[in-house]
Structure 1
Amino acid sequence: MPDTAPSIPRPPSSGTICVVGAGFMGCVIATLYAHHGHDVALCDMNTELLASFAERARPIAATFADDPAAVDAMLARVRTEPSLAEAVKGAFMVHEAVQEKLETKQALFAELDAFCPPEVVLATNTSSLLLSDIGAKVNGKQRILGLHYITPGHIIRSIEVIHADFTPASLVEWGRAFVESIDHVGVACGERPGFLINKIQFAMLTEIYRLMDEGIASRDDIDAAVRLSIGPRLALWGPLLTEDLIVSKATALAVTDSLYHQTGDENYKGRKALRDLVEAGHMGAITGRGWYEYDAPYAEIVLERDRQLTDLLEWLRERDPVGRLAPR
């Protein structure tokens, strides 16, 4: 990433943000920004969407406040504006959430480039398109940043901070700081198909679709296998910390190599990053170092690991979320 950038001040704790696109995601994003004290100009050519914003946003706002007056005050910070030129005035950031069509986003960003001063950040909520393609017609590409929310965006705290080759490192840090200011967590990743979260998510789902096609396991058994084994561990610790806490790197490498030799599928082949750890003797928490480093004795780590997992599984058992949500 380049080291220089247009003069972009740190994200303000309050200010004006323009959200372009009043559909589902635009509605969520605008409400979230209003909740965190920003004035929002919500722009869309579809005046019916603008007119229905408050009705659609009220349940979202209600997740932040029980008091109807507080909800009203939150929604009052969002003004609807059909004119893009008017909506962007005074904004420190424009966040695009329009249709996931390249030509639509390209045309919009070309307009934003013309309307907005150089210090205004131009963010996109794209879930699949590359920043370099979206900004193909933009002169000031250095201010384009991906801020991709994961549905439901007002609840899921992780936001992808996506950067291209032309994105300055300072803008990535700006994005992280902004995301932190709205009580979310920014995960930075370079542009590539699927970015970070969908790349991981669909690697798992693609394998699950294959298991379903082959009749290896039923729908219910697949869901139970994930939610009662992989799911809770990932929710607590993520995949790499889970591996450190649960299994030796040597075992992890042996399993991946075994799957590769049985299937011939290159996706199962042990990767360099894992092999390097094994060759260096960094087997995980058991040796004091794996993907992470550990100061506490291994026995203490295991006790705390098991307490956290037991607490979460008991919490899930008591609430029976599957029984409440899943259709027959």
Structure 2
Amino acid sequence: MTDTTAETGPPPGGRICIVGAGFMGCVIATMYAHHGYEAVLCDLRSDLLDSFAERARPIAATFSDDAATVDAILGRVTTTTELPEAVEGAFMVHEAVQEALEAKQAVFETLDTLCPPEVVLATNTSSLLLSDIAARVTHRARVLGIHYITPAHIIRAVEIIHDETTPPELVAWGRAFAESIDHVGVATPERPGFLINKIQFAMLTEIYRLVDEGIASRDDIDAAVRLSIGPRLALWGPLLTEDLIVPKSTALAVTYSLYRQTGDENFKGRDALRALVDAGDQGAMTGKGWYTFDAPNAEVVEERDRQLTDLLDWLRDRDAVTRLKVR
């Protein structure tokens, strides 16, 4: 990636090639087209390309209920089976082929020879290491992970994955690109699970254990999360929630209590939390925790309770679980 590319950022309306016309490739191409980019979808399977418009129409319809607007979005996506043609003039190529290392390595090796060094080569991998995918790439400084969370056109967080060879300018470029499509880029170094799955499966593996041991039922587990943890996390995320809900000294005490009861090292009080306690930074009640609060605690608590009440009332009125027709 050249300094010029890093300085100018993603060009508005520029050309992006998406390699792989499966489920994620279809979503990504439609999303890029909606945000004004010229999207070129490439796949060796002509049947996937032929069915693109049919598969993409419901995705485009989430952006607008106007048929003409939907048609315009789909019209900004062209399809081809020829990779050299697809990458011509693109400022970024986004790979979305099957989650198999050899397949991705082969694509990146080919892209490295087809694309000038200033073209960003991105992967949507959900589990493979960036350094492994780019093992046969010569121009490593232009390789980046841009990993969307399903449904990608609705979920706004996108992981910007980097490794030790990724220049900071490219990470910043990735964040800027995410912003250009109304997403929020969260940077994470390559590691098993990256950031989102690392957090998500830490919770899920504990839930699986609870089910295996018969400690709680399916319905009770989902209700516990949906009506307590879930709304707070949706509003504020885990660290701001802690600032708003519990003093840091209490949070630290709970971690040590769980450690003593279970012997699980994961529950042992962590350095970052201990540092906040030692500094007297208890969260909203002292004006500083993970975050710094500009308003008095009483005002913060009043606003906290208003937001949470509004969200819970909205969820109750929606009756989301019933509408899914599950049993």
TM-score range for the pair, normalised by the shorter chain length: over 0.9
The size of the alignment, in residue pairs, is: 325
Task: Tell me whether 1:214 sits opposite 2:209 in the alignment.
Answer: no
Partner of 1:27: 26
Aligned residue for 2:183?
A: 184
Structure 2 counterpart SS, 1:91: coil
| Cα distance in 1, alignment partners of residues 55 and 113 from structure 2 | 31
Partner of 1:151: 150
Say whether the 8 Å CA contact 1:260–1:269 is kept in structure 2: yes
Equivalent position of 1:125 in the other structure: 124
Per-residue Cα deviation, 1:166-211 (whole angstroms, up to 9, x for no partner): 0010001110001001111111111101000000000000000000
In the aligned structure 2, how far is the partner of 1:6 from the partner of 1:296? 41
Q: Supply the AA of the counterpart residue of 2:25.
A: G
Report the CA distance between 1:7 and its aligned residue. Answer: 3.8
Contact 1:43 1:81 in 2 (8 A): yes
Maintained 8 Å contact 2:256/2:267: yes
Give distance in 1, aligned partners of 2:268 and 2:290: 18
In the TM superposition, residue 6 of structure 1 has moved relative to its aligned partner by 5.2
Task: Check conservation: 1:6, 1:143, Cα contact below 8 A.
Answer: no
SS in 1 for 2:78: strand
Contact 1:149-1:160 at 8 Å conserved across structures: yes
1:260 maps to a residue whose letter is Y
Structural mapping, 1:246-285, within 5 Å: 246-285=245-284
Q: Equivalent residue of 2:97, what SS?
A: coil
Using the alignment, how far apart are the partners of 1:43 and 1:169 within structure 2? 29
- The equivalences for 1:5-154 within 5 A come to 7-8=4-5, 9-154=8-153
SS of corresponding position for 2:285: helix
What SS class does the counterpart of residue 173 from structure 1 fall into?
helix
TM-score (norm. length: structure 1): 0.98
Deviation at 1:326, TM superposition (A): 4.6
Q: Which runs of 4+ in 1 moved over 4 A?
A: none
| Letter in structure 2 aligned against 1:136 | A
Contact 1:5 1:168 in 2 (8 A): no
Contact 2:33 2:73 in 1 (8 A): yes
User: Is it true that 1:166 corresponds to 2:165 in the alignment?
Assistant: yes
Match of 1:196 in 2: 195
- SS of residue matched to 1:188: strand
Contact 1:6–1:118 under 8 Å retained in 2: no
Higher relative contact order (CA 8 A, sep 6+): 1
C-alpha offsets along residues 287-310 of structure 1, whole Å, 9 cap, x if unaligned?
Answer: 111000112111110000000000
The TM-score, its normalising length taken from structure 2, stands at 0.98
**Structure 2 unaligned residues grouped into runs of 5+:** none
1:310 aligns with 2:309: yes
Give the residue type in structure 1 aligned to 2:158.
I
